[in-house]
Chain A
Amino acid sequence: MAQFFQQVVSGLASGAIYAALALALVLIHRATGVINFAQGEMAMFTTYIASALMVSHDFPYWVAFFVTLAIAFVGGVTLQRVVIRPVEQASILTIVIVTIGLVLIFNGLASWIWTGEIRPFPSAFPNDTIDVGGVAISVQDIGTIGVVIGLVVLLWAFFEFTKIGLAMRASALNPDASRLVGVRVGWMLGIGWGLAAVLGAVAGMLAAPTVFLEPNMMQGILIFAFASAVLGGIDSPFGAVAGGLMLGVGLNLVGNYVDFVGSDLRLPVALLVILIVLLVRPAGLFGKPVTRRV
């Protein structure tokens, strides 16, 4: 039983990372209807920046963490304004191809700047366990879950209680009417990309201690994040978080208790989840089914 709880907690920790990246995907999808395939590589790139700050510039962990978030935000906004805006009016397919181009660019750029060799990345939390009712729980897992929960709450408060948050929601729902009340919709999309990049950076920095730092580190996690977003409903921020946690726990339990899955077949299981959800309930568990007028 103790082992079961340990697996659940460690599943929640991986799930929290999927949730952060899934939330990034949902933010951009809600605002523009586009899946940003570069979300994972953007996260990887910002994690390299954090590593560079810590290793080459001797920044303490949390200073590097927050400086990286600031860089990620500015980078995300810039990316939207410079690369995405020119193709904003083009078809969804065009924009998706641009984001795939960004995948290649960030991946190549990271290999070029930092070489492709695998590097360690420190964790913010000690490699200890604490005893909760006879169950030894990893402090790193608790920390990871805590950071993501804190981030989600902050983000929720931003969207719910600030003027810009409200304007961003309005822009996603009805861009034309938003312009008429004076909202600069283009910049709201830019800020959306900035926030998504921040979420990605957090996911990257939390994942890096276990998956290690290398240019392809986020590719598997991005698939899990897709699965989480699809599971929860691609337009539901709450669904993305719930989907991420459910997927994290589910995969961890399946991997540990179903012998033939082990740790190797988790990715196919995640793909199976995407497939089944899309077939059975395309709107996801928490999404509203959309009927489009033709």
Chain B
Amino acid sequence: MALLELTDVEARYGQVRALHGVSLAVDEGQIVAVLGANGAGKTTTLRAISGTVRRSGEIVFDGSRLGRRGPEAVAKLGVAHVPEGRGTFAELSVEENLKLGGYTRRGSIDADVQRMAEYFPWLEERSAQHAGTLSGGEQQMLALARALMSRPRLLLLDEPSLGLAPLVTREIFRIVRELNDQDGLTVLVVEQNAAIALEVASHAYVLEVGAVAVSGSSDELARDESVRKSYLGY
């Protein structure tokens, strides 16, 4: 059974409908990519899952329907959302950002802070620094580390490559893959850069104007000339 399953999910911002019935599934331990052009509804799909946009249709996570649950409740179920623009707390220290990441956890989170320092060695020496003073890549890594602090069952990652140098983007995707390999972390990643996303993901959905246009395994999609030309643009 899928860990996350969306059936005919719709979402709107005021009067404007952004999703017109998206259906997709993510199995436990999978990395799944959501691709598509600007405005196709990729970000809205993640926001519908985490409850930061008003949605209808059915979203089932780990056997329970999300219904009208808000973002706080969805986070508590074990979904960590790294939003577009990262959503780090610029005025708080790196350490405080990590602590907030572990907010839903009970008991000590020191071991997790240690573990994050293994993935991102610079975190430790900068723990007192304000997050706002970090570079874009470091902030993205901090946002990722903060999300992992909750020990999520599902990680929602929104355009991790946005505004970052290609090398930094590679590094972030390498870490995501490593987390998936070692800990079996399940990831749903939205990405503009289809090439890199298809390398990491096992499965992908391509959205067009708020609905799924094509889906399949990453290999299939990457090999299919027409899909690449018409949807992925490379």
Contacts and interface: CB of A to CB of B under 8 A. Distances in A.
A180 B75 CA distance: 6
Interface in A82-124: none
CB-CB nearest 5 A-B residue pairs: A182-B75, A177-B87, A182-B104, A179-B71, A181-B103
A185 B52 CA distance: 13
Interface of B: 50, 52, 70-72, 75-76, 80-81, 83, 87-92, 96, 99-101, 103-104, 146, 150
* Central interface residue in B71, B87, B92, by most chain A CB within 10 Å: B71
Contacts of B104: 181-182
Contacts of B70: 179
B52 A166 contact: no
A174 B89 contact: yes
Contacts, number: 61
B146 A181 contact: yes
Contact of A176 (B52, B90, B100, B103): B52
A167 B150 CA distance: 15
Main SS of chain A's interface residues? Answer: helix
Nearest to A172: B91
B75 A177 contact: no
Contact of B87 (A163, A180, A183, A185): A180
Interface in A145-195: 163, 166-167, 169-170, 173-174, 176-185
Contacts of A185: 72
Interface of A: 163, 166-167, 169-170, 173-174, 176-185
Contacts of B71: 176, 179-180
B89 A170 contact: yes
A15 to B, nearest CB: 28
B75 A163 contact: no
Contact of A170 (B72, B76, B80, B92): B92
Nearest to B88: A177
A166 B100 contact: yes
B99 A166 contact: yes
A200 to B, nearest CB: 26
A174 B50 CA distance: 17
Contacts of B52: 176, 179-180
Given A183-B72, A185-B72, A167 B103 contact: yes
A185 B103 CA distance: 12
Contacts of A174: 87, 89-90
B68 to A, nearest CB: 14
Contact of B101 (A179, A181, A184): A181
B46 to A, nearest CB: 11
* Central interface residue in A163, A176, A181, A184, by most chain B CB within 10 Å: A181
Contact of A179 (B75, B80, B91): B75
Contacts of A180: 50, 52, 71, 75, 80-81, 83, 87
